[in-house]
Structures are given as C-alpha cells and as structure tokens.
Amino acid sequence: MTSQFRSIVLLPTIFIVVFLGAVLGSKSYLAFIILCFLLGEHLYSWNKSINGQKFQDFRVFFTDQYFKIIYTGLTLLIYLISSIFWDFINYWSFFGYAANFIIYRSLANEGTSQINSLPNVESRPVVSSFDEWENNKYNLEMILDRSSDKNLVFKIKDQLDYSGFLRTPKAKILIEQAKNSSSENLNDILEKINNLL
C-alpha cells in the first residue's frame, strides 16, 4: 500500500465509515455491516489495481481514479439513505448497491481498461512562439523609424499587433536583412514584409 493511497483514500474513508457507523449504525446493524464489507472489498481491489495496473496515459489513470471515488461516494450515500429509511426500504437498498456496482465499478473498470489498451499517440510539449513574435515586433518597430516611406510605415504598424507572420523564421530573416540593409534597399525589404503580414 502506498502512503499516498493511505493518506488520500484509505484514512478519510475509514473516518467517514466510523463516523457514519457511530451516528447511524444503531438504526440498522445489517446496513452498516454491508457497507463495511462493500467498502473493504472496494478499497482492497483499488489498492491492488494501483500497485499492479500500469496506465500508458495519465488521463486514463485519473479517469479510473475518478470513477472509483464516485463509486465510493455513491456507496456511502446509499448507506446513508438506507440506514435513515431502513424501516421503509429494508432490503431494497441491495438493488442500489447492485446498480452502483454494475454502473460505476464494472463498466468503469472495463471502460478504462479498454481505453488504456488503445494505441496512444505520444504527445509533445507545446513550444510557445510568443517570445519570438515579441522580439520580431520590437526589432521591426526599430527598423521602421529608419524608413522614409511614411505610408508603408503606417501600413506595417497597422498590422503589427495582429500578424502571425512575425512568429515565423522567414520573418526573422527578413527583419535581419532590413536591419543590415542600406536606406535604398530598406523600403524594398519592408515592402516584402508588408505583403507577408
């Protein structure tokens, strides 16, 4: 048993079961014994699956854990309802336990194992190009101050904040060319940049 499972799942569940047993156990001993049996078996199989089953994708693991928490919560809720209304529903609460087992235990376990067996696609980290865009924009604004064509400068400045072209390597190359160009060639390079913005 891992210390995380003991701290996050086992100890809080034991506390809730003991608390509910102390508050409602006298209404129906049989309902409390059924609750202890069902949750004991569930926690044992849950701990066993954590130690033995390996998930290829962490999202499948968290989905599996989510369904197991839902099953535990619904089992406690069914016990709460059955112990309060034991005089009226008696053994009918067994149908609630059975439905909970079929829906949230059997189907969820089978579903997550089927999803886990699907071939997964290896994900790559997203590389942000925002810094590149900011650098290119800053450098281009510095270059625009050197241009004599005010109409072209206005057109480029109008599109600077909305252009995705500044994220590309081609934009960086053209901006470097403009930075190193003479004043005669500068407007030609800026015209190329304006057409690509």
Lowest-confidence region among 65-74, 85-94, 138-147, 148-157: 85-94
The answer as to whether 181 is a domain residue is yes
The answer as to whether 185 is a domain residue is yes
Do 143 and 47 lie in a common domain? no
Q: Among residues 187, 173, 184, 183, which one has the least CA distance to residue 136?
A: 173
How far apart (Å, rounded) are the C-alpha atoms in residues 98 and 113?
21
Tell me how many domains the chain contains: 2
**107-164 tens-digit pLDDT:** 887 888 787 777 766 666 666 667 788 888 888 888 888 888 888 888 888 888 888 8
User: Residue 82: is its pLDDT beyond 70?
Assistant: yes
The answer as to whether 122 is a domain residue is no
Do 110 and 145 lie in a common domain? no
Do 136 and 57 lie in a common domain? no
Do 31 and 56 lie in a common domain? yes
Burial class, 91, CB count within 10 angstroms (exposed 0-12 / middle 13-18 / buried 19+): exposed
**159-183 tens-digit pLDDT:** 888 888 888 888 888 888 888 887 7
Do 95 and 155 lie in a common domain? no
Q: What is the pTM of this model?
A: 0.56
Average pLDDT over all residues of the chain: 82
Do 11 and 73 lie in a common domain? yes
Do 94 and 43 lie in a common domain? yes
Do 137 and 178 lie in a common domain? yes
- Which one of 117, 142, 166 terminates a domain? 117
- What pLDDT does residue 144 have? 85
- What pLDDT does residue 102 have? 87
